[in-house]
Amino acid sequence: MTHSDVPRKRTRIQAQNEARIIRAAMDVFSANGYRGATVDQIAGSAGMSKANVLYYFNKKQDIYTAVLEQTLGIWLDPLDELNPDGDPIEELWKYALQKLRFSQQEPLASRLFANEILQGAPIIRPFLENELKNLVMSKCQIIQQWIDHGKLAPVSPLHLLFFIWSSTQHYADFSPQINALTQESEDELFADAEKTLKLLLTRGLKP
Amino acid sequence: MTHSDVPRKRTRIQAQNEARIIRAAMDVFSANGYRGATVDQIAGSAGMSKANVLYYFNKKQDIYTAVLEQTLGIWLDPLDELNPDGDPIEELWKYALQKLRFSQQEPLASRLFANEILQGAPIIRPFLENELKNLVMSKCQIIQQWIDHGKLAPVSPLHLLFFIWSSTQHYADFSPQINALTQESEDELFADAEKTLKLLLTRGLKP
DNA sequence: GCAATTGTTGACCAGATGGTCAAGATACGA
DNA sequence: TCGTATCTTGACCATCTGGTCAACAATTGC
């Protein structure tokens, strides 16, 4: 340590390996939950030794936190786009459709969240109580105004969001059950889901 | 072993302790998932020694299976009551309401299932593929007939069931998230959920 | 009352798992 | 090229956890 003890800059190898570990950890955590995942599995899936994984992330929980944080943004972004000046039903359907697409394209992220919340949200509780809550409250005001202006059926805005979240995430989180009950291909499945959800939402929300 | 080696009958103590263990195991498994639960926790929660728990259930997995099996029936019963001769929307709403009530009154059972399915449904897959699938298929036919007779909006029956399941179970499975986003009392919460869900379903399904 | 069966548990074992460490391999700046 | 900082890993350790067992307690049928 000749010139400084400022935080040393991130090596290319560092960035590369941390990304590899996080990608592998997403697979393992989303499939097995926090307790069910082992550092050895993550290392194997990332193609390196357990000791090396723990060289980049000191503790197992640090890996878990990193994986969660990396996907938190994806949660907020689509909701943030809800446009108060657009057509209410169109805006809400656009949001629901985005969530449904997300369930199809990123099922691992959805299952990671589901696992975390089922275990009581020990890590992301602050996120839920702050960032998410603030965003949700502001968006609920928009929805409430739509209702007050007679542009939307008089639903509870918060529970409307719950309905959108649950019915879309269901396709990622409960896929084993869904696959046991249908022979549709994945594309057909999501096409039918989209059609039915659109019908329920657009008709149900009409003022 | 003097007279027989037929299966000896269940003692009163046996039945009593097995029930106590299953009740405790429901708490522990639903809160921590299969891997996250320990036999010691279950024993502690049941007020007996780990060795004694394993005297009644030879393996940890046997406890888990017993807990699951005991609650499988609850899954089928309400759906089975769907009456083809009743008013379609009324029948479907009655079913949804029953599921919502179940989420409020038996959240542990709901979370137990969610955990099991998130882990790939290793134990209850046969149940999903047989009992549940048969019942669902027969009920989907009823719904399809309602649609064919113009008594219901043209939704996909299977996906309609998915929506009912997801939006009601959500209140049990994601309660940490829900509690982070609202200050409502539990009763208010479920009253609002009921109102919003009823509005969306009854309006959305009108032909 | 008294065997025989059933119930109960502390002590113990084996394997899994998170985490450490020292020692060697590799990359990188001067 | 050389020296330093970074990277990598096998070996190891402590703890946790599912499961066993022998010994003792309680119950029950006769």
Beta-carbon separation of A163 and B197 below 8 A: yes
State the pLDDT at residue B9: 59
Least CA distance to B137: which residue of chain A?
A181
List the single protein residue with the shortest CA to C1' distance from C21: A51
State the pLDDT at residue B10: 72
Question: Given a cut of 60, is residue B2 above it in pLDDT?
Answer: no
The percentage of residues in chain A with a pLDDT greater than 90, rounded to a whole number, is 89
CB-count burial class (<10 Å; 0-12, 13-18, 19+) for B65: middle
Question: Given a cut of 70, is residue B81 above it in pLDDT?
Answer: yes
Read off the pLDDT of each residue in B109-137 and give the average, rounded to a whole number.
97
State the pLDDT at residue A22: 97
State the pLDDT at residue B1: 33
Which residues in chain A are closer than 8 Å to B117, comparing Cβ atoms?
A: 173-174, 176-177
Q: What is the mean pLDDT of chain A?
A: 93
**Cα angle value B150/B152/B156 (rounded, 5°):** 110
**Cα angle value A27/A32/A35 (rounded, 5°):** 120
Q: Using CB atoms, which residue from A155, A182, A200 is nearest to B158?
A: A182
Residues 6 or more apart in contact with residue A120 via CB below 8 angstroms: B31, B176
Read off the pLDDT of each residue in B58-64 and give the average, rounded to a whole number.
97
Domains in chain A, CATH or no CATH each: 1-58 (1.10.10.60), 68-205 (1.10.357.10)
Residue B186 exposure: Cα atoms within 13 Å on the Cβ side: 10
Question: Among A181-195, B7-21, B162-176, which is the least confidently predicted range?
Answer: B7-21
The percentage of residues in chain B with a pLDDT greater than 70, rounded to a whole number, is 96
Residue B202 exposure: Cα atoms within 13 Å on the Cβ side: 14
State the pLDDT at residue A85: 94
Beta-carbon separation of B160 and A35 below 8 A: no
Read off the pLDDT of each residue in A29-49 and give the average, rounded to a whole number.
97
From CA B169, how far away is CA B167, in angstroms rounded?
Answer: 6
Question: Given a cut of 60, is residue B7 above it in pLDDT?
Answer: no
From CA B149, how far away is CA B155, in angstroms rounded?
Answer: 13
Question: Given a cut of 80, is residue B4 above it in pLDDT?
Answer: no
Question: Among B3-7, B8-12, B152-156, which is the least confidently predicted range?
Answer: B3-7
Which nucleotide is the nearest neighbour of B11, by CA and C1'?
Answer: C6
Question: Given a cut of 70, is residue B122 above it in pLDDT?
Answer: yes
Please tell me if residue A191 touches chain B, with a CB cutoff of 8 Å. Answer: no
Beta-carbon separation of B111 and A118 below 8 A: yes
Q: Which DSSP category does B124 fall into?
A: T
The answer to whether strand D lies under 7 Å from the CB of residue A8 is: yes
State the pLDDT at residue A14: 86
Entry field: residues in chain A: 207
Question: Measuring CA to CA, which residue among B143, B166, B168, B165 is closest to residue B156?
Answer: B143
State the pLDDT at residue A9: 59
State the pLDDT at residue A3: 32
State the pLDDT at residue B5: 36
**Tens-digit pLDDT profile for residues A139-180:** 999 999 999 999 999 999 999 999 999 999 999 999 999 999
Block residue for tokens 């990304």: A19
Cβ of A203: how many Cβ atoms within 10 Å?
17
Please tell me if residue A54 touches chain B, with a CB cutoff of 8 Å. Answer: no
Which nucleotide is the nearest neighbour of B2, by CA and C1'?
Answer: C4
Please tell me if residue B191 touches chain A, with a CB cutoff of 8 Å. Answer: no
Please tell me if residue B134 touches chain A, with a CB cutoff of 8 Å. Answer: no
The answer to whether strand D lies under 7 Å from the CB of residue B185 is: no
Positive/negative CA dihedral, A76, A27, B107, B198: positive
**Tens-digit pLDDT profile for residues A89-102:** 999 999 999 999 99
From CA B114, how far away is CA B109, in angstroms rounded?
Answer: 9
**Tens-digit pLDDT profile for residues A11-34:** 778 889 999 999 999 999 999 999
**Tens-digit pLDDT profile for residues B24-43:** 999 999 999 999 999 999 99
Question: Measuring CA to CA, which residue among A198, A171, A201 is closest to residue A186?
Answer: A171
Residue A46 exposure: Cα atoms within 13 Å on the Cβ side: 28
Please tell me if residue B171 touches chain A, with a CB cutoff of 8 Å. Answer: yes
State the pLDDT at residue B11: 75
Q: Which nucleotides of C are covered by protein (CB under 7 A)?
A: 4-11, 16-22, 27-28
Please tell me if residue A76 touches chain B, with a CB cutoff of 8 Å. Answer: no
Structure token digits, residue B166: 């997801």
User: A132-135 — which CB contacts under 8 Å span 24+ positions?
Assistant: A132/A75, A132/A76, A132/B180, A132/B181, A133/B180, A133/B181, A135/A76, A135/A79, A135/A80
Question: Given a cut of 70, is residue B149 above it in pLDDT?
Answer: yes
Read off the pLDDT of each residue in A107-133 and give the average, rounded to a whole number.
97
List the single protein residue with the shortest CA to C1' distance from D11: A51
The answer to whether strand C lies under 7 Å from the CB of residue A20 is: no
